[in-house]
Structure 1
Amino acid sequence: MRVRRFVALARDEVPDLAQEILREIRREHPHLPLVLDESGEPRALVGIRRALEHFLDHLTSGPDRPQVHHRVFQEFGRGEGLQGRTLDSLQAMYRLGVRLAWRRLAEIGQRVEIPPPAMYELAESGFQYLDGLVDETVRGYAEAAARQAGERLRLQRRLLDLLFAEHRSDPAEALAERAARIGWPLPEQVAVAVLLRPAREAMAPAVGQGVLLDMEPEQPRMVVPEPTAAGRAELLRRSMAGWSGAIGPPVPLHRAVKSLRWAAAAVALMERRLLPAGQLLQCTEHTEALVLLPPEELIEDLDRRLLAPLAYCGPTHGRRLAETLLAWLESRGGAPEVAARLGVHPQTVRYRLRQIRELWGDEVDDPDRRFELELVLRARRLRGELAARLP
């Protein structure tokens, strides 16, 4: 009987109590916007009032009556998520509302002389009800966050598709429109990275704000704005812990596809172990390898034609002659300079240079032939077929 009287008195105070709770929430959270429903009433006020009414209904209803109106509070959570508020701020609002509501309900309980044990049960029921509200609100909030994240990813992919397309005309207007939709300030320069996954289930690297990361491809891609800005390289190095890949050279925004090509070429060489792995490799520091190694067919054909004389020298002696020829071409010096580069005696170099003259004749004095010989020999060294150059 006392519970029914308690519920009746509390129901009369629900409208004023809901207004008081909303006022206090807005005082604590002054930037909370008032979104109106179809009737022109603040949705937050409607939600508070319904929560109080449903709780009071629960006190006098049977066990089959649902405790929480799922749709109402899921929609509230979705709305708050779309407004950009955090879960912490949402839960703080709930706690404030419950504190105010419980203060008023405790006063009513004293007026109708509800015994303390019964009030404790009432409080426990109230907190259980609050848990249900929070669960439904969080579910709606999570749905909104997932929807927003999915929409942003879709818009980001559209921007990346345009960035990585070949352009016959200036794409500035289209890029600006797509970038604005995800709040990405257009940079003057970008560098594009291609990444190698450490494992299929690996967490995405924690790249800094403004960096576009596309995890959809088998080899994820990353667009770094203003890559030469102070501190950018160090931030990238830290965020890429556990990941490896290559980042292309800085290029104007509308030429991002060119940076992507260099990064992809470098990653291909990393996979063949022709470039060092286990880090975010800077393409600008490996220009020689990127120029000489990818056009394999052309370089190999030139190699076969120019270095054919070595086929008659045996593998070991042929490699030594090739190393001596390359050192001579690079140093443009005499036997002492070449010997210093190779770490051998100058007399050994003189002997090998005489053999080189016998094998190639006057061709080694032709500037064009010297250039081609140096190209194919450098390519061999990059592939690990010749000894590395001494420091």
Structure 2
Amino acid sequence: MSHGVPPLRRPGVQPWNDPAAYWGGITRAVAGIDAPVGVIELNALAHNAYDMLDRADGVPIRVASKSIRVRSVLDAVLALPGYAGVLAFTLAEAIWLSATIDDVVVGYPTADRSAIAALAADPVAASRVTLMVDSVEHLDFIDSVVAPSQRETLRVAIELDASYDSRLLGRLGVWRSPVHTAEQAEQLAGRIVARPGFALVGMMAYESQIAGLQDSPPGAGLRGVIVRDMQRRSFAEIRDRRTAAVLAVRAVADLEFVNGGGTGSLHLTRTDSSVTDIAAGSGLLAGHTFDGFAAFQPAPAASWGLSVVRKPTNDRATVLGGGWIASGPPGPDRLPRVVWPEGLTMAKHEQAGEVQTPLAGEAAFSLGVGDRVWFRHAKSGELSERIEAFHLVDGDTVVDVVPTYRGEGKAFL
């Protein structure tokens, strides 16, 4: 029986700085476990959790569950002072989590009729879950599922578009909310408070072009200079615009929270006085995307191991599987990264394959059938969709095994 992630304490050492010892310890810990085997190294997880608190500097962190998808990790992180609430990615997930977590904001609008009906009929969930809206159409859709007179009052938050229009680079950020100005936010707020069956309790603005974009990509110094300049300008713009929008909406409704930021922008978003909590989660398990950020260096907390199954030549070793590609724009940065043994590279015309991944390099000469190769995913939470459990490792010892959402029989999206 799993006891979950033990209490996270700030580690006094950083074993990942010695790759041979770090990956060697993990290899020994799960030597008898068949591949694919997922691992969370507890010292690395704790380091990342406390590093995020340091960068937030007193502003509460709302944990982005999409970037974890392991309930016991969510529980362990939320037990730390400075973390409060969850940012979920689907309404069905939010309802599920609300059985034990009393503050769950759904980060995206929903058109899930079954989940809306379930929320509307559940007084506890309705008091704990906040829906995201950015248009009157969202209100109309919810009303079409369950009329206001036949449901609990539903908590909603307005999402403000945080994208940035750069003279040099064009529009930057993700295509999300149509609510861009303070005037638009105030108008939507007025429409919400005038509607029966809804309570406007929050706002959100996610500046993805700052929080999720590498500002120090390896081997691309000029790109880093351009990105950092853009981010500086973008943050100044969204800080002023968000402040104006929050003031306008607060004149209409008594907001409980204003959420912003992400793992990559904690140090900036905390300086925006209009923000009451910052959404972050990717930095906890630390997909390799964050290796290209200048403001912090997360530890490689989550990884997975595959077994060598053949040797096509003496200088190559092939592992079974490996093609766990991250979502987003196709490119080399979406591939998993081979991290141990060091120096292994993927075959140019095969890369990470669904059924096999051939690897070359000096270390391949010494690899034999059954040997273990370690990978890191580009993104943090997507690895949890591939495996049913993580082995919790401390040094060279497995201290527990905890299920992912998938291991609990959940596949929300």
TM-score (norm 2): 0.23
Greater relative contact order (Cα 8 A, min sep 6): structure 1 or 2? Answer: 2
Specify which structure has the higher proportion of strand: 2
